[in-house]
Structure 1
């Protein structure tokens, strides 16, 4: 039972970290001077890895 509680605490901590890192990544991508590399289906920034679909 103790293992289950530890795992749930770890999951909660990781979810908080994930949200923080998502916000940090969004901030970096917003401020990036993108240098896109294009493929037939997508273009991806070589600096911040922001990806945009070219297939609609």
Structure 2
């Protein structure tokens, strides 16, 4: 960030929001892959427990 750039974005009604760049695509893909992995593991565990309790 350059020194002359505003640190906060000005929104309507005088509200401010911190100015941060968006996440890169690789970071988004890694978070999505980890979420899908943990969701899959959780579902498989739940199904295995349900089958074991029958």
With normalisation by structure 2, the TM-score equals 0.51
Task: State the Cα deviation string for residues 9-49 of structure 1 (Å, max 9, x = none).
Answer: 000111111111111010111123xxxxxxxxxxxxxxxxx
Specify every segment of 5 or more residues in structure 2 that has no aligned partner in the other structure, as ranges: 1-22
Aligned length: 32
More helix by proportion, 1 or 2? Answer: 2
Structure 1 residue corresponding to 2:44, chosen from 1, 10, 22: 22
What RMSD over aligned residues (CA atoms) do the two structures have, in Å? 1.6
Instruction: Pick the structure with greater CA Rg.
Output: 2
More strand by proportion, 1 or 2? Answer: 1
Specify every segment of 5 or more residues in structure 1 that has no aligned partner in the other structure, as ranges: 33-56
- Aligned residue number for residue 24 of structure 2: 2
